[in-house]
Structure 1
Amino acid sequence: MAQGQFKDGIAAGRLSQAQYSENFSDLHPPLDRHEAVVEADRCYFCYDAPCLQACPTSIDIPMFIRQIATGNPLGSAKTIFDQNILGGMCARVCPTETLCEEVCVREVAEGKPVQIGRLQRYATDVAMEAGRQFYERAASSGKTVAVVGAGPAGLACAHRLAVSGHAVTLYEAKPKPGGLNEYGIAAYKTVDEFAQSEVDYVTAVGGISIEYGMALGRDIALAELAAKHDAVFLGMGLAGVNALRAEGEDASGVENAVEFIAGLRQADDLATIPVGRRVVVIGGGMTAIDAAIQSKLLGAEEVTICYRRGKEHMNASEYEQDLAASNGVVIRHWQQPKRVVAVNGTTVGIELEYTRLVEGKLVGTGEVVTLAADQVFKAIGQTFDAAPLNGSGNAIALEKGRIKVDEEGRTSMTKVWAGGDCIFGGDDLTVSAVAQGRDAAMSIDRALMG
């Protein structure tokens, strides 16, 4: 272990380069051909398969697994891409343990499901590495569509529209495309710049252009997009971060977990990423888990997740919670932040209040505990910023702070659809965003073509 690991405060370079490489290697190494065929043979190819019903994008899972088993990985990839053009990334980050694999008949009967996610990765990797495209653009429709946000929803929408012959312009606020896939996924889940490779694969169909540094409400107005294009799709995700609502949370050392993960993903050298010796993460979702595990992998000595409710209430799956524990992360339940303890403006600890449920309502007990910490990450949810929408002069109906859409993704504004994390009723999953973008594209196509 590097000598610098035991520095107090927030420091970079706690580990050797070899340790960084090992710690951030692929979480689930890809299956080779033999392993994929053997695993595919475990599938019962169920009629009316429960795994298919559990997939938000409705991939024909028994079909693509059968195609792998019969030595046809390219055919398998097409079956996947027909429903989910971002099937490669979803194979890496989708919580299969709570979706398709949870209802697998093998899981129910034996406690060991078919490894659907890893099989999906095998097939899509074969196709992408071969540069095999399965779709050709239809004749030009003469219609143009603006897609705001080059994340999972926007990319899925753009691809489906482009295949239908429409010209698509993606407006992306950041310098790189990919959205959550590029900036918000743990580095050990998607290695080797896969997010950018997938964007290149998706846009290779043609008819898709991307304009960077274009934020809605800052660089371009919604009314302008609606006037310039025949349709608009909004897929800009969530920009705001909830506050801790704890005294002293503006102290040095209190940071946004989303920004920490994004910075780590964009770093050319992990040794340049500073991390505390004692890290506390506040939250119970995937962002909290990813921030905590990666803090440990960067060389933090003690990492603790504090969540205000019980284990069963955490948004992070049991698998992800176990993954955190296996990496040395301690998860404490029924605790909420009360005060950041600081000396001369620098975080040295955090005071937490114990909680409990009283008639279904979470209340503090008055009992507190203080944990030593030189770095505290906020991972208690993101919020949608509606100002860029109505700043254009056109009101779009919202519901509980997010965009209200109908079953086809239509908003209350003519010519405007939406999908992904920015819409009300979503579950904040990459795979669901892909489905919403795809379905909105089909609705847009029907509207444009009469």
Structure 2
Amino acid sequence: MKRVYTITTVVTLLTVLLGSILQITYTQRKTRAKLKVGFVYISDQSAAYTDNFMRLASSLKDTYGDRISIYSRNNVPEHEAANTFKDLKKHGCKLIFATSYTYKKQAKIFAKNNPDIQVCAATADNANNSPVLPNYHTFMGTIYEGRYLTGVAAGMKLSELISQHKATTETARIGYVAAMSTPEVISGYTAFFLGVRSIVPSATMRVCYTGKWADYPTEMRMTDHLIDEGCIIIGQHTDTIAPAISCEQAAAMGRNVYHVGYNSNMMDVAPTSSITSCSINWEPYITQAIEACLKDCDIESVVKAQKNHNDSWAGLDKDWVRINTINPIVAASHTKETLETVKKKLIQGKCKVFQGNYTGIDPKDPSDTYDLRNGYEENHDASTPQFHYVLSDVITIEDN
């Protein structure tokens, strides 16, 4: 009887051992030895938005060493995107990051024609539009959270100026240099404005559109115009440092003006006027997508975020959105501590950004309105912002 038990035990052990060997062999076969990764940029390091991606791409070699090779293409206009994707294919790239919203159409067409290549489009909104492709993905951080926090910082500075009799509740006017009238931009400046109003309820805002994501001379001119209009704090959703420099120059001439940036810490160019800035941290998604491709598994199975099929997003809770350095020389007292408190409330869902006694009007269809007393949940089921209403009576769009 003992002999039967012994034989049974040996057979069981051999079966387990054989299964382990087969599993290891399968895993090795499913893991790529090397991966070629392509990045397509709308501009270069002179634009803060692109610079964030470029810095990240450069750092990937430190993380993955010889396991990946990076192929980057800078200053690619929309009409050249398709040819650029094909060029990266020729170099053997099996994972391509399209980093501009304007690439989304060509990126999806390329993905459809190349099912063996994974294409990830930052800030795009068409992953779940027909046809839904298993190799086409979209992603973005919930940047409205960062906008709201920087608005709180701006509001605290405005409140400080009022207490110092350098401004009044009646002149509590802020300005915003915006690229264009898209939901992403409108959602962003609305969240920023509501952050300001959480501190200074009488604040109003004027918005100037430049018509381009990056246009240094126009951004400078628009900022100068807003300062001349009496705006005390200038925010931005454009890709250059022009608004920060314009504010710094005005401050140097004795003007009472401050700046809140986007995509990078702008204290180096505006040390006496920059309060803080916010940005999307692209590292979590990009590194997790690379890990997925190295393991030859679905990207969404590795990415830690909210997901709707092949669309992924996250915010402060997953470090996809960040507040950059708070300028201790310029920011109001206790700004850092206050932002930490508000940040915790945002993460816990205790702070509702798009809510209040406001009526929003769709600039493209004035008959389409939204009552914010009912609240609005941004990024409910998509990575890209959807709020596209301009708040009546408190936000003014300037004619350029």
TM-score scaled to structure 1, two decimals? 0.27
**Higher share in helix:** 2
| TM-score normalised over the length of structure 2 | 0.30
